[in-house]
Amino acid sequence: MHIEFHGAAREVTGSCFLVRAAGRSVLVDCGLFQGGPADEARNARPFPFDPKKIDAVVLSHAHIDHSGRLPLLLKSGFRGPVHTHAATRDLCAIMLKDAAYLEEKGAEWDNRKRRRKGLAPVAPLYTRRDAALVVRRFRPLDYGAAEDILPGFRLRLLDAGHILGSAIVELEVSEDGRRRRLVFSGDLGHAGGPLLRDPATVPEADLVILESTYGDRLHRSWDATWAEMGDILERARSDKGNILIPAFAVGRTQELLYAFHRHFDDWGLNRWRVFLDSPMAIEATAVHARHAVLYKAPTRADGPGLFELPNLHLSRTARQSMAINRIQSGCIVIAGSGMCTGGRIKHHLKQNVWRPHCHVLIVGFQARGTPGRALVDGARFIRLWGEAIRVQAKVHTIGGLSAHADADGLAAWYGRFREAPRVVLVHGEPAAMDPLAERLQGTFGARPITPEAGARLDL
């Protein structure tokens, strides 16, 4: 029996691990590579294994860099079940549909240009139909319940506290009387957050496959982060402009809404109109409400309506979104995409970012090369639809809202295993992974492995 690393190996995206034992093959995650055009071109390459021979998939969580190639896997011949948490299934129904829509639009755009050049048309990576078909193969499994998914494969999911439904994947694999317990951290949550539970402790493993996204970084405390938010709202109010918040539709948006709900009075939010300008975020918020049982206990006790504000406007149609553009002051707009690469936030930036009394709140990770990153880095101009727009709005970066554990969180989670198990670091750039490897070695005497894509490890 062995494990192969086919993505998120010495990089963050494209999560994809193949476990082979007892004549069966189980894939853990099947994510898209994200980043520049060279990264994205890798998504169209054939899988480095035969999708027809994959017996089952286990999906850690709904983020596209973990789930986004599942429709492609189906298109390439996979016909097995996808085991995951019910909330992940519900979020994937939204997120894979959106990813497919972007693929279809991208191909349509390319083909307009290709036609003019006399070139043959290209097909999208997959369509909304492929996305819907793969979601039908999802088989929900509750946290803590063990299931024999195949002869020789016993699966248990535990709460990873990263986004709704996110799971630590425990696979007990048996072959010829030998048994190995593999624990995939998936993406581990940032403990102490407002909504979700802290990552579950796992007592034992023979091999831990640990994410390392922020293996080189420490987050600001939650209390300091809330205080920072309050201060910015105060300043923005005296400036009498608008506040724009580019946010991912799943997770960050709901955390923000809940923070607004909880701090409504102390942050003086009654003086603002709050717009959630994203149909996908509105849908994702409804999925959260359906799975409220997954929130941490004190939050659950706050009752239903965690995301409700008396002055919250849900904007679904393009006409509603355009109407917000006419408001000169006093509105807070939450819209996607999270890194300002597309979506409605671009229109709001165009209307507001050149105005000195407006504010932009950056609350999530911004990849290199994106307009969001340019704002974080203090660019004087940003380019939107080819037009250079002067940045005069005040840009604030709130680092403490991360959905990932920081270096302390990762080391603490690993430290709770009995007898420092063998550990493989994945899902991180080498610059983040290498300091974490040193730390695990220094503190626990572990000898972390950091495999390249395509590497294989015998169990």
Residues that bind Zn ion (CB under 5 A): 63, 187
| Cβ closest to Zn ion, residue 239 vs residue 429 | 429
Q: How many residues does the chain have?
A: 459
Minimum CB separation of residue 93 from Zn ion in Å reads: 17
| Cβ closest to Zn ion, residue 248 vs residue 417 | 248
Minimum CB separation of residue 368 from Zn ion in Å reads: 19
Minimum CB separation of residue 199 from Zn ion in Å reads: 12
Q: Which two tokens stand for residue 251?
A: 């997770």
User: Using CA atoms, how far apart are residues 138 and 82, in angstroms rounded to an integer?
Assistant: 5
| Cβ closest to Zn ion, residue 164 vs residue 244 | 164
Q: Which H or E element spans position 179? A: strand 178-184
Minimum CB separation of residue 439 from Zn ion in Å reads: 22
Q: Which amino acid type is present at position 252?
A: R
| Cβ closest to Zn ion, residue 63 vs residue 359 | 63
Q: Which H or E element spans position 171? A: strand 167-175
Q: DSSP H helical segments within 21-85, as ranges?
A: 37-41, 64-67, 70-75
Distances (CA, A) of 190 to 24, 219, 248, 279, 433: 34, 9, 16, 26, 17
Distances (CA, A) of 363 to 160, 167, 232, 429: 21, 23, 12, 21
Contacts of 202 (CB under 8 A, 6+ apart): 158, 168, 170, 183, 416, 417
| Cβ closest to Zn ion, residue 40 vs residue 110 | 40
Minimum CB separation of residue 194 from Zn ion in Å reads: 18
Strand 273-276 versus strand 243-246 pairing type: unpaired
| Cβ closest to Zn ion, residue 172 vs residue 187 | 187
Minimum CB separation of residue 63 from Zn ion in Å reads: 3
| Cβ closest to Zn ion, residue 193 vs residue 241 | 193
Minimum CB separation of residue 436 from Zn ion in Å reads: 17
